[in-house]
Amino acid sequence: MQLKTLAFAALAAFAFGAGINAAPAEAAVGCLACHNRCDTNFDACLAAGTAYATCYSRATSCHRSCGCPIP
Walking along the chain (71 residues) 10 residues at a time, the average pLDDT comes out as 61 55 56 94 97 97 84 52
In whole angstroms, what is the distance from residue 36 CA to residue 29 CA? 10
pLDDT at 8: 58
The model carries a pTM of 0.58
pLDDT at 2: 67
pLDDT at 22: 42
pLDDT at 19: 46
Extended beta strands in 1-44, E state: none
